Amino acid sequence: MYRNQYDSDITTFSPSGRIHQIEYAMEAVKQGGAAVALKSKQYAVLVSLKRSSSELGSYQKKIFVVDDHVGIAISGLTADARMLCNFMRNECSNYNYVYESQIRVERLVTKVADKHQVHTQRYGRRPYGVGLLVAGFDQLGAHIYQTCPSGNFYDYKSISIGSRSQSAKTYLEKHFESFEECTLEQLITHGLRALRETIPNTDDTLNSKNVSIGIVGEGQPFKIIEEADAQPYLNLLENEEPVEMQTN
């Protein structure tokens, strides 16, 4: 992207009707580590690739619990993501306090999108440089949403964001019609295969250190599967062997 005359302020439109600052914010999302989201009738699954700054460092957390029925995967500026995560947790907690029930996923995502929008229209405040994949389960079933720094949000059957996500999207487009009837293990396996497409050939493959899985669904509160717990699912990729699923 080349520099434009009309891109230094969030409050300035370009002659072609675009706000370049928002588009630059969305670039930050595209640079982040890949994340994949997909859903069946009863479950929504998030799978993400964790990055570490060096061999000495730990891997950056990518999936967060928001409430029993909602979790998010992030791509972009992690610090911004933390703020949004806390905001979402507070909103869920407040809603539960007032209405004694869980907030519907679309309603929560709308609040996040509105928060993004405020930062696209006020001088002196930059947009959040992070995109979220929201996985949730409520009375209307399983949901996958994507939020953007622009303030838009999208309802998806499955989606991928972040670095080299186009390869994952290609995989998802080939297989998404079968997701509706998949079991949880099959769904996670699809997610891992899609995620594998995003790794450049020169890098490590998927391993228990750099993969993070989040699941939520009917009777399944949002849970993060990482490190040693993720190994059985990674083995599924290699061996195509069934694994005993822990239910709670």
Partner 1 sequence: METLKLSALPEKDKQQPISHGRFEAYVDNGGTVMAVAGKDYCVIAGDTRMSDGGYGIQTRKYTKVFQLTKKCVLATSGMQADTIALQKRLKSMLESFEKEHGKPMSTPAIAQFLSNTLYYKRFFPYYTFNLVAGVDEQGEGWIWTYDAVGSHERVKYSSQGSGNQLVIPLLDNQVAKFNQQIVEGNKDVSCEQVVSFVKDSITSAGERDIYTGDFADIVVVDKNGVHWEKFELKLD
Binding site for partner 1 (CB under 8 A): 65, 89, 93, 96-97
Distance CA 181, CA 11 (A): 46
Distance CA 153, CA 72 (A): 14
Quote the least distance from Cβ 200 to partner 1, whole Å: 32
Of 97 and 123, which CB lies nearer to partner 1 in the complex structure?
Answer: 97
Quote the least distance from Cβ 89 to partner 1, whole Å: 6
Of 78 and 96, which CB lies nearer to partner 1 in the complex structure?
Answer: 96
CA of 15: how far to CAs of 22, 25, 126, in Å? 15, 19, 21
Distance CA 216, CA 224 (A): 9
Of 23 and 226, which CB lies nearer to partner 1 in the complex structure?
Answer: 226
Of 1 and 98, which CB lies nearer to partner 1 in the complex structure?
Answer: 98
Angle at 28 between CA 26 and CA 29, to 5 degrees: 65
Quote the least distance from Cβ 5 to partner 1, whole Å: 45
Quote the least distance from Cβ 77 to partner 1, whole Å: 20
Longest Cα–Cα distance of the chain, Å, equals 58
